[in-house]
């Protein structure tokens, strides 16, 4: 059945059906025309024969001569000469007529009526008057003999002759038609196969193109419409390859842009289902889904769902804030249109948690600096007014007040200098005065400066040096600032009454890892785990309580980090709340110059 569904089968079948129809119609037409023509010739022959025999009778030809003349006629022609109801001469055909047939013929009233008019008559006649007997073409006419008698001449010819001739013609036409159909079948099959071959090739290439293979081309065998179709198909495949390649590049570029974006991007359908999202957006959705505030485990936050509803109703850009847990996001929603219809909604999710935290840190910094400055300024103002107003009566009281004013002014100076130092280092204007010095004596000198402070705070201060002969190139002033800050913080958060605090400064050189490591270890109060990632940020204070003498301005560790990084090193911290902390300064030995 597949053959008849193919173009070869359809073309072949169409040609054969058309040819068969034409041959059948032509055969019928030829048979009818030939039969009519043959009948006309037979009737004409019957009339001529009748007239010829009649002339012989009128000339007085005797019976024997007539019988001899009858023999000259063909076998399919029969002759009967009747006179007064009797046969005077005859020529039989294969029908072999008997007395009954002659009697029926001579007594036929209808025919006798026509003959009495003296004209030639021609009609179909049945000798026995039965429909199942073979009819003949019969011609009859009466002629007058020399002796005055009337003779009727009957000349007949059987239909069998006509049928034989027609059968021969039909047979010839049938054989010719079969031969024509066979030849045409072969030729049409070859022609349709040649016509269909390029189409089959196009089908194969089209299937390959549908699977993404655009490199195959249709061969052009002809220069007709099918050849032009093949050329057009090749151009289409080439253009498709170019367009698909361009679309793929744009898609990859867009994908790379979306993946590389710091902001989250979510594309929603108009039914609020998610079509597309990049990694930051997926992280946002993940954090929301598993947050403690998402009790119903919905996919998107309620605020974002409300903004999606509003933008679909108002068709105006929506901007809103989404807050859950300790995270803050800003969502910007924009519509994409397909003509006048809304196609989708693009949402940009921006993580503002760090900005909010930094804003809070700056606010805390302003409060801290204000607090740190307010107290010494108030003391400067108060003691200055006391001296001006004469509250201090003796020289000793005046000196005491002046000493307090001096100490507070130094305190203000240190605060300002710390802020200026941090600003210079973060701006990249800090120049290091590096010197090559022994590390152990330098550490011993710095630690010894804190022995009194450690003793006053019930802290045991220790120095452990694994490499006493090690020398290193560094800026001693800046590195001393680092150690002072770290040791002072360790003593401050370790020392308390009825507790034996320990602060240890440990130095070691790891030549395998190419590192000089200095650790400041204490067993103090420790640092909360949530504060550790932000500990070295400027303005950040792990101890939020502003207990005087226990906290600074929140920029000391930022200065430490900048100094260590200026030496190409790094500083990290390990701490457990209630157990203690370890600050680790790692400096590279390979860059020691």
pLDDT digits (tens, 9 = 90+) for 324-371: 888 889 999 999 988 888 889 999 999 888 888 778 777 766 776 676
Q: Where are the beta strands (DSSP E) in 278-434?
A: 318-324, 327-338, 341-351
pLDDT at residue 425 in the model? 67
pLDDT at 545 over 50: no
Q: What is the pLDDT of residues 121-145, one digit of tens each?
A: 888 888 776 655 567 888 888 888 8
Asked whether the beta carbons of 369 and 553 are under 8 A apart, the reply is yes
- Other CB atoms closer than 10 Å to residue 119's CB: what's the count? 10
Long-range own/partner contacts, residues 106-112 (CB < 8 A, 24 or more apart): 106/82, 106/152, 111/140
Confidence (pLDDT) at 539: 57
pLDDT at 528 (0 to 100):
86
Residues 6+ apart with CB under 8 A from 169: 30, 31, 34
CA separation, residue 460 to residues 292, 486, 497, 523, 573 (Å): 45, 15, 13, 11, 21
Residue 518, helix vs strand vs coil: strand
CA 412, 416, 417, 423: dihedral to nearest 10 degrees? 170
> Residues 176-227: pLDDT tens digits?
878 877 887 787 777 777 777 777 777 787 888 788 777 777 776 667 777 7
pLDDT value, residue 130: 63
Q: Does residue 548 have a pLDDT over 50?
A: no
Q: Which residue has the higher pLDDT, 125 or 5?
A: 125
Examine the pLDDT at 550 and tell me if it is beyond 50: no
Per-residue confidence (pLDDT) for residue 520, from 0 to 100: 93
Mean pLDDT of 446-452: 88
CA R_g for the chain: 64
Measured from the Cβ of residue 205, the count of other Cβ atoms closer than 10 Å reads 21
Average pLDDT over residues 437-465: 90
3-state helix, strand, coil in the chain (%, to 5): 50, 20, 25
Bigger pLDDT: 285 vs 221: 285
Express each pLDDT in 308-328 by its tens digit: 999 999 989 999 999 888 888
Range 406-413, long-range pairs (CB < 8 A, 24+ positions): 408/376, 408/377, 408/379, 408/380, 409/376, 409/380, 411/376, 412/373, 412/376, 412/377
**34 contacts: CB under 8 Å, gap ≥ 6:** 165, 166, 169
CA distance 304 to 442: 59
Identify the band that residue 586 occupies on the pLDDT scale cut at 50, 70 and 90: very high
> What does pLDDT average to over the chain?
81
Q: What is the pLDDT of residues 495-540, one digit of tens each?
A: 777 788 899 999 999 888 889 999 999 998 888 888 888 787 765 6
| pLDDT above 50: residue 549 | no
Is 30 or 449 the better-scoring residue by pLDDT?
449
């Amino acid at each position: 059945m597949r053959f008849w569904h193919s173009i070869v089968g359809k073309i072949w079948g169409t040609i054969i059906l058309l040819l068969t129809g034409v041959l059948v119609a032509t055969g019928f037409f030829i048979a009818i025309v030939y039969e009519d023509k043959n009948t006309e010739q037979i009737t004409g022959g019957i009339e001529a024969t009748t007239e010829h025999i009649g002339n012989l009778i009128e000339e007085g030809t005797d019976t024997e001569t007539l019988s001899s003349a009858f023999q000259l006629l063909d076998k399919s022609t029969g002759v009967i000469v009747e006179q007064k109801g009797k046969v005077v001469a005859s020529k039989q055909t294969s029908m072999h007529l008997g007395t009954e047939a002659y009697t029926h013929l001579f007594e036929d009233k209808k025919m006798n009526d026509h003959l009495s008019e003296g004209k030639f008559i021609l009609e179909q006649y049945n000798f026995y008057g039965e429909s199942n007997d073979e009819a003949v073409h019969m011609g009859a006419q009466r002629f007058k003999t020399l002796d005055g008698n009337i003779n009727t001449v009957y000349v007949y010819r059987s239909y069998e002759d006509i049928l034989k001739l027609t059968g021969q013609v039909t047979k010839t036409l049938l054989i010719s038609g079969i031969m024509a159909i066979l030849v045409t079948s072969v030729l049409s099959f070859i022609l349709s196969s040649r016509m269909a071959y390029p189409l089959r090739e196009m089908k194969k290439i089209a299937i390959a193109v549908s699977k993404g293979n655009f490199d195959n081309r249709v061969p052009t065998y002809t220069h007709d419409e099918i050849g032009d179709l093949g050329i057009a198909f090749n151009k289409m495949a080439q253009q498709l390859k170019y367009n698909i390649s361009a679309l793929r590049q744009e898609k990859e570029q867009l994908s790379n842009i979306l993946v590389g974006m710091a902001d989250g991007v979510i594309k929603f359908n108009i039914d609020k289902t998610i079509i597309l999202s990049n990694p930051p957006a997926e992280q946002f959705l993940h954090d929301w889904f598993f947050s403690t505030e998402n009790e119903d485990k919905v996919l998107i936050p309620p605020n974002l769902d409300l903004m999606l509803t509003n933008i679909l109703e108002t068709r105006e850009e929506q901007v809103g804030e989404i807050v859950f847990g300790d995270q803050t996001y800003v969502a910007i929603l924009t519509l994409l249109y397909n003509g006048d219809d809304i196609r989708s909604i693009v949402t940009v999710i921006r993580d503002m948690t760090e900005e909010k935290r930094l804003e809070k840190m700056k606010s805390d910094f302003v409060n801290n600096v204000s607090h740190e400055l307010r107290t010494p300024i108030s003391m400067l103002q108060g003691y200055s007014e006391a001296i001006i107003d004469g509250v201090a009566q003796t020289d000793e009281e005046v000196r005491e007040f002046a000493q307090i004013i001096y100490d507070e002014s130094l305190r203000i100076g240190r605060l300002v200098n710390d802020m200026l130092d941090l600003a210079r280092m973060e701006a990249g204007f800090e120049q290091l005065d590096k010197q090559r010095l022994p590390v152990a004596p330098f550490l011993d000198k710095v630690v010894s400066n804190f022995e009194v402070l450690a003793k006053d705070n019930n802290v045991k201060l220790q120095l452990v040096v694994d490499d006493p002969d090690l020398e290193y190139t560094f800026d001693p002033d800046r590195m001393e600032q680092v150690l002072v800050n770290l040791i002072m913080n360790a003593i401050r958060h370790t020392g308390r009454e009825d507790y034996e605090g320990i602060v240890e400064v440990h130095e070691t050189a790891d030549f395998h890892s190419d590192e000089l490591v200095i650790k400041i270890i204490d067993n103090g109060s420790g640092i909360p785990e949530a504060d550790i990632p932000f500990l070295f940020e400027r303005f950040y204070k792990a101890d939020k309580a502003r207990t005087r003498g226990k906290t600074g301005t929140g920029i000391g560790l930022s200065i430490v980090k900048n100094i260590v990084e200026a030496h190409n090193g790094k500083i990290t911290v390990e701490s457990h709340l209630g157990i203690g902390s370890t600050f680790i300064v790692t400096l590279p030995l390979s860059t020691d110059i």
